[in-house]
Structure 1
Amino acid sequence: MISISSVIHLTKVLDVRHITYMSNSVVVVTGAGRGLGEAIALEVARQGSSVVLAGRSIEPLESVKSSIEMQGGRALVRVTDVTDSDSVAALFEDAENAFGRIDVLVNNAGIANRVNLVDLGEAEWDRIFDTNVRGMFLCSREAGRRFAIAGSGRAVNVASVFGLLGRPGYSAYCASKGAVINFTRSVAAEWARFGAQMNAVAPGYFATDINAELRADDAAMAKVMRRIPAYRMGTPDELANVVAYLALTAPDFLTGQTIAVDGGEASV
């Protein structure tokens, strides 16, 4: 029988470990130069994490790094093509060399394009799947190898409400984000054996620079709003808060799940 004093001691040990994980984590964020990726990087940095900023263009990544450092945080910029295995391997090696380890991966890099299926070329289908699925696979494989050795680690995959719902003109994007969700389920079951977790978020419409043109079109916005019970777009910090929770403070028992952050769009 475990004594009360032993339980109290164990609780204190776990609390200290959990607080350390929250405040000292090293987080790799792909697609970190703008939009939701930028918001996620800023939020995990605000919560005390060192952040590795990965993306295709150096200028926006350097801008995010400056914002993090102005708030007293630490960040590393690495130009990365997530579809290229050598580039991904270099990203993780550089991150380890800079910070000593990697605790969290946020697979945020993704692209979308509206093309009806009958007009969709094979190259465009491959382009979307290469970034949204292959990129997630390559980054997760590198992270998973390290998590297996460490016996801990977390990954958060940014899927989409379009991975839960069908939308005309987005067959490739919907299929790729559906793949993200099922990839999350499968890998979570594998990683649970060595103490690591993988979850996903499925964002709906969020107000970012990517959809500025849509938001400027009153008719188009009215059409979108009719599908969202909350009758508004989300703000990037709302998604960033959920990702940070899954990455840093959620219980280890939470794994393999996809959380829709969509104002209720997937519920109706």
Structure 2
Amino acid sequence: MNLFDLSGRTALITGSSRGIGYALAQGLLEAGARVVVHGRNAGAADAAAERLRTATGGETMVETFDVTDPESVDDGIGRIEAACGTLDVCVNNAGIQRRAPFVDFAVEDWNDLVATNLTSAFLVGRRVARGMLLRGRGKIVNVGSVQSRLARPGIAPYSATKGGIVMLTQGMCADLGPHGIQVNALAPGYFATELTQALVDDEAFSAWVAQRTPAGRWGQVSELVGTLVFLSSAASDFVNGQTIYVDGGMTAVV
């Protein structure tokens, strides 16, 4: 089981002050990694890092930079590298959602979605990869969604960004794989978090999730951890350019 041990590794998870990102941070800490907690709000990120330290006994750092701004990304990753060297693991998790009928979708919301969900993975992944290239190894995990493959009404631009994550992942693999870097995508299905609580509480929507998912229920965020640990560890050294759906079987059936 040493293949899955992350002791001595440093991992950045963008958007990890709450929701799925927080659960992923906790999972990597429990696997032995030092984790850089990231968020837009410094107070929320500091509080999350403290809760994670208390819960796991692991080592956490905090960075708050704008994942959509190249200069801010450069500065933020630079501070991390100055403190602990080149990152071993980078998880591009930061993301937002906007909902509206396609014909009414505001251009501003489209631009926000593309910047936060897709451009951020390019900017952060590009900056982190420069150090990984010099060292000759590293793991980058881009977070997609079942909407990387399936569409629903009202979220066409979101689906476009998550579909883009899949092809960005494959393109990064093509460029970085020859240099000892693995780039894969983790694509969650419907998971119960504080961000999805309104949908969980919607009886009709929850019934649809249960009926549409072979597992018959919402996912629990802890169920994403095993796949992330795999993709972050030596166990996945010959896995590259892949998208792994952790969705209770939703994308496997019609």
Hey, what does 2:176 align to over in structure 1? 191
Q: Deviation of residue 22 (structure 1)? A: 2.3
Matching of residue 264 in structure 1 with residue 224 in structure 2: no
State the alpha-carbon separation in 2 of the partners of residues 226 and 74 from structure 1.
41
Q: Cα deviation per residue 1:160-191 (whole Å; 9 max; x = unaligned)?
A: 00111121111100000000001101111111
Hey, what does 1:93 align to over in structure 2? 78
State the alpha-carbon separation in 2 of the partners of residues 215 and 22 from structure 1.
33
Hey, what does 2:7 align to over in structure 1? 23
State the alpha-carbon separation in 1 of the partners of residues 236 and 159 from structure 2.
29
8 A contact 1:29–1:107 mirrored in 2: yes
Q: What TM-score comes out, normalization by structure 2 length?
A: 0.95
Hey, what does 1:107 align to over in structure 2? 92
Q: Cα deviation per residue 1:204-252 (whole Å; 9 max; x = unaligned)?
A: 1001001111111212211222211111011111112211210124231
Matching of residue 228 in structure 1 with residue 237 in structure 2: no
Matching of residue 36 in structure 1 with residue 13 in structure 2: no
Matching of residue 67 in structure 1 with residue 60 in structure 2: no
Give the match's secondary structure for 1:60: helix
Map 1:1-268 onto structure 2 (within 5 A): 22-70=6-54, 71-268=56-253
Q: Name the CA shift for 1:255/1:238 in 2 (closer, same or farther; >3 Å).
A: same
Structure 2 runs not aligned, ≥5 long:
none
Aligned residues: 252
State the alpha-carbon separation in 1 of the partners of residues 160 and 154 from structure 2.
12
8 A contact 2:32–2:58 mirrored in 1: yes
Q: Which amino acid aligns with 2:216?
A: Y
Greater radius of gyration (CA) = 1
Give the match's secondary structure for 1:109: coil
State the alpha-carbon separation in 2 of the partners of residues 121 and 64 from structure 1.
33
Q: Which amino acid aligns with 1:246?
A: L
Relative to structure 2, which stretch is displaced further, 160-169 or 62-71? 62-71
Q: Deviation of residue 140 (structure 1)? A: 0.4
Hey, what does 1:6 align to over in structure 2? none
State the alpha-carbon separation in 2 of the partners of residues 220 and 101 from structure 1.
43
Q: Deviation of residue 82 (structure 1)? A: 0.4
Q: Which amino acid aligns with 1:252?
A: D
Provide the alpha-carbon RMSD of the alignment: 1.5
State the alpha-carbon separation in 2 of the partners of residues 162 and 143 from structure 1.
26
8 A contact 1:38–1:64 mirrored in 2: yes
Q: Deviation of residue 63 (structure 1)? A: 2.2
- Identity in percent: 38
